[in-house]
């Protein structure tokens, strides 16, 4: 039986929290959907928890391959015209699908849509982007004319668990590339944006990103990302793809924003070689004073990192940290991981 929307949930060792995720889908005001959970080789009780829902959730098992391949398995199995993604540790608010489908029905030319969201760590929850700022960026529209411009001008943020995409998009842009351990979602959105630059966006917070549910593998990958190596590979690849697709000028401002953010993170973490590599490899995005500042701050990387960490922690303790971040979730593990690579 055909459905309008297929919800794809990749899961790995999610037995402790997958019920909350699935329940948030089953509580949707919109009812024309199916739920596909792809178990990516879990070794805990994920299968038992999911199968307890019976026919409400379609369960597919595969050998461990990562989030991207698991999402691809879900896409291949989907029966709906529209495909929504939800990570195994996130959740939706009840009106998420309903409001997105209303927006897409209102604008039949749009082929994808996203929403604002909350970021939560334990009991602390914060809005990803101020809804007023998003509404101002949208003007009187329900969509951004260009995905890359929306990102580079900080008009909004995009999270995988808020994406709703027409299945024909994947026929044109391809599916998630399994070569990326981190960044497969960004790579996917950028490839879509070359072909379908306009994207619907709802300023309301309609999903929750939980940032404190990290297994050992995810934590290690997250720390590796802090070195900026994934960003360098992604930007290098997409500077070529953007040129081929005639969208280099739209892509470049976003690339500069991402690279500068990665640079500041590597300096903060004390990753001397990675920081210097970023400004050397992408010198076109860094004026001389950025390059000079980077080399100066990384002469004694541990000292610089310690000072910056101290200032950041003082800001956090004084209550000036408004955003919810992973920075203070696992301070002991994170510090140990950092010190071993300095």
> And the tokens for 334?
């994170």
Give the CATH number of domain 5-213; options: 3.40.640.10, 3.90.550.10, 3.40.50.300, 2.60.40.2130.
3.90.550.10
Instruction: Quote the pLDDT of residue 222.
Output: 52
30 vs 36: CA distance, rounded Å: 16
> And the tokens for 106?
């209102």
Q: Is the pLDDT of residue 23 over 90?
A: yes
Contact between 242 and 281 under an 8 Å Cβ cutoff? The reply is no
Q: Which of 82, 81, 162, 73 is nearest to 116 (CA)?
A: 162
Q: Is the pLDDT of residue 213 over 70?
A: no
Contact between 129 and 116 under an 8 Å Cβ cutoff? The reply is yes
Across 217-231, average pLDDT: 64
> And the tokens for 156?
């909004």
Q: Pick the range with the lowest mean pLDDT from 148-152, 296-300, 335-339.
A: 335-339
> Given pLDDT bands bounded at 50, 70 and 90, which one contains residue 80?
very high
pTM for the complete prediction? Answer: 0.89
Instruction: Quote the pLDDT of residue 342.
Output: 27
Assign 3-class secondary structure to 297-321: HCCCHHHHHHHHHHHHHHHHHCCCC
Q: Is the pLDDT of residue 218 over 90?
A: no
36 vs 75: CA distance, rounded Å: 9
Instruction: Quote the pLDDT of residue 315.
Output: 80
> And the tokens for 152?
């580079």
Looking at residue 56, what DSSP letter applies?
G
Instruction: Quote the pLDDT of residue 121.
Output: 82
Q: Is the pLDDT of residue 217 over 50?
A: no
- Domain locations in the chain as residue ranges: 5-213, 217-339
Q: Is the pLDDT of residue 341 over 70?
A: no
């Amino acid at each position: 039986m055909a459905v309008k929307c297929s919800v794809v949930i990749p899961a790995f060792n999610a037995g402790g929290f997958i019920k909350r995720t699935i329940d948030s889908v089953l509580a949707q005001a919109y009812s024309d959907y199916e739920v596909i959970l792809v178990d990516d080789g879990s070794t805990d009780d994920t299968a038992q928890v999911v199968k307890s829902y019976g026919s409400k959730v379609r369960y597919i098992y595969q050998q461990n391959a990562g989030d991207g391949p698991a999402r691809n398995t879900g896409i291949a199995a989907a029966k709906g015209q529209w495909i929504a993604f939800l990570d195994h540790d996130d959740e939706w608010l009840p009106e998420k699908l309903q409001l997105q489908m209303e927006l897409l029905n209102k604008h039949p030319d749009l082929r994808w849509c996203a929403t604002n969201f909350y970021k939560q760590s334990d009991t602390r929850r914060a809005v990803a982007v101020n809804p007023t700022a998003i509404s101002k960026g949208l003007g009187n529209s329900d969509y951004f004319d260009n995905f890359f411009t929306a990102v580079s001008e900080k008009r909004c943020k995009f999270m995988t668990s808020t994406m709703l995409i027409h299945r024909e998009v994947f026929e044109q842009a391809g599916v998630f590339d399994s070569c990326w351990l981190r960044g497969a979602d960004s790579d996917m959105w950028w490839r879509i944006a070359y072909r379908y630059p306009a994207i619907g966006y709802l300023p309301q917070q309609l999903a929750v990103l939980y940032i404190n549910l990290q297994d050992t593998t995810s934590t290690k990958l997250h720390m590796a990302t802090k070195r900026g190596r994934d960003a360098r590979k992604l930007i290098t690849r997409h500077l070529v793809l953007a040129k081929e697709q005639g969208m280099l000028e739209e892509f470049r401002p976003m690339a500069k924003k991402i690279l500068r953010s990665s640079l500041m993170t590597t300096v903060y973490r004390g990753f001397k070689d990675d920081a210097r590599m970023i400004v050397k490899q992408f010198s076109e995005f860094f004026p001389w004073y950025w390059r000079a500042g980077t080399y100066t701050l990384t002469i004694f990387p541990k000292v610089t990192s310690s000072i910056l960490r101290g200032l950041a922690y003082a800001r956090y303790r004084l209550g000036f940290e408004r955003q919810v971040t992973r920075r203070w979730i696992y301070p002991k593990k994170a510090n140990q991981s950092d010190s071993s690579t300095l």
